[in-house]
Amino acid sequence: MSRWFFSIQLRLIVVFALVLVMALGSVSLYVGLAANREADQFDERLEEARAARVEQMISRLYSERQDWGELQAVVEQAGSLYDRRIVVTDSEGRIVADSHFRFGRPWIPRQRESRFMPIVSGNEEIGSLALAPSEIQETIAEPAISRVVSSLNRSLIWTGLAAGVGGILLVSLMSRRILTPVRELTLAAGRLGQGDLSQRVATSSRDEIGQLGATFNAMAEGLEGAERQRRSLMADVAHELRTPLSNIQGYLEAVRDGLLEPDNATIDTIYQQVLHLTRLVEDLRLLALADAGALSLSLQEESLQEVLQSSVASCRPRAEAKGVSVALSIPSEIPLVQMDRTRIAQVVSNLLDNAIFHTPQGGSVSVSAESLGSAVRIIVADTGEGIPPEDLPQVFERFYRVDPSRARTTGGTGLGLTIARQLVEAHRGTIRAESTPGRGSRFIFELPLA
Ligand code: ADP
């Protein structure tokens, strides 16, 4: 009950009823005023016509007889015919006939209520005529026109009542129809809030409520996707942690059971697994920070040349050990870039590590940069194995590896490119990969200058 009391449906009905009352009220007020004005004008014209007719009668009588002889009888007749007091005075102002003479009421001419008119015979004014309300009738009958107005008002009230009942019925039906999707939406949102992320609503209409439904569906879709991603991330992380942990466990059990000597080689193998775990945890921490938008960047105008030179220098020993050459080509006029030096160095070394790792002996890796006017472009290219086209769109996804078994045993966390993309995007830049399998890959990222 209280829910209905606060409902939009009730508000619509009340507003409709108010609009109806206001519309009918103003129509009946207008009709009343207009009818009264018309009635006044009609009365005026009628009174004028009556006076003119009486004047004609009297002036004809006078011109026939040249005296006021039978005037009293004629005036009495006209008075009762028109229900008016008719008083005739001669040119000297003496009363010569009064239709109400018999009733013995003195004649007091009242300017506002009476109509005065000169009586003309030939060209001579022979007297004057006054027409006044009769005063005799005891009860004053309701004027015809106001009867019309009140009957009109009565009809308006009945019509209004009928229209009101019909309208309220219509408004109830319409509002129920409009509000049904809102109720469905409320139910769906409630269930969504309780954790059922598969909730969707039907969006058949194109109006605001339809748009609300579509937005709700998009939100539910997003939440479901995020939840799916969260679950798969948990599963992926558990899976990634399990491999090095079970390796460590296996080695330690073998040492304990005397199957393996606890020599330097064994300890180093275990140590490598621990290093891998540490790297994985560190990468995950960085990604979690970037995901939460909590990655703090210390942005400064930096020389790209310096950053690229030091990244290339630090990876060169590894490349040379593998027999891969590394070249750097950067124009001297490349502008300074607003960036977090450490983060961009990490992007470049992630790309360089991958390039060296996937390039066989005798191959080459090159790092180059160019200015695009509003941005700078950095390209890390190699002549390695390349990436199959079907894998290319996924290489920036977390834990995505083109060859999972090989990559996991050789120490990659599967997060290097994901981190690179997050760091570049945190600088409002973009990153993409191009590759020809068997010929090499190019990783290209751009950083805006401003
Ligand atoms: P990983 O730790 O496995 O290197 P990344 O996120 O850095 O993870 O890379 C994802 C996958 O993309 C790699 O496993 C590899 O299969 C592929 N990849 C990345 N860089 C290259 C490259 N330069 N050449 C060939 N494949 C590459």
At residue 395 the predicted structure's pLDDT band, cuts being 50, 70 and 90, is: very high
Give the angle 79-83-89 at the CA atoms, nearest 5°: 35
Ligand 1 atom at minimum distance from 384 CA: 24
Q: Tell me how far the alpha carbon of residue 395 lies from the centroid of ligand 1, in angstroms.
A: 7
Q: Please tell me the distance from the alpha carbon of residue 72 to that of residue 262, in angstroms, as a whole number.
A: 154
Q: What is the second-level CATH architecture of the domain 1-194?
A: 2-Layer Sandwich (3.30)
Above 90 in pLDDT, residue 352? yes
Pocket probe mutation, ligand 1, options 240, 401, 418, max atoms within 8 Å of Cβ: 401
Q: Return the residue whose CA atom lies nearest to atom 20 of ligand 1.
A: 354
Question: pLDDT above 70 covers what percent of the chain?
Answer: 95
Contacts for 249 with CB less than 8 Å, ≥ 6 apart: none
Is there an atom of ligand 1 within 6 Å of 422 CB? no
Which tokens belong to 274? Answer: 């621990």
List Cβ neighbours of 218 (8 Å cut-off, separation of 6 or more): none
In which band, very low, low, confident or very high, does the pLDDT at 151 lie, cut at 50, 70 and 90?
confident
Compute the average pLDDT of residues 355-382: 95
Q: Which atom of ligand 1 is nearest to the CA of 350?
A: 7
Q: Which residues contact 144 (CB under 8 A, 6 or more apart)?
A: 39
How far is Cα 418 from Cα 364, in angstroms, rounded to an integer? 24
- pLDDT at 408 exceeding the cut of 60: no
Average pLDDT over residues 83-95: 87
In the chain, where the domains are located: 1-194, 208-291, 300-448
Distance, CA 423 to ligand 1 centroid (Å)? 17
Average pLDDT of 260-282? Answer: 92
> What is each CA distance from 22 to 18, 25, 29, 33, 156, in whole angstroms?
6, 5, 10, 16, 12
Instruction: Give, using CA atoms, the residue closest to atom 14 of ligand 1.
Output: 401
- Classified by CATH at the fold level, domain 208-291 comes out as Helix Hairpins (1.10.287)
Q: Is 137 exposed, middle or buried (0-12, 13-18, 19+ CB in 10 A)?
A: exposed
354 C-beta closer than 6 A to ligand 1: yes
- Confidence (pTM): 0.61
- Which among 416, 414, 424 is positioned nearest to 444, based on CA atoms? 424
Task: Identify the CATH number of the domain defined by range 300-448.
Answer: 3.30.565.10
Q: Tell me, what's the pLDDT at 217?
A: 95
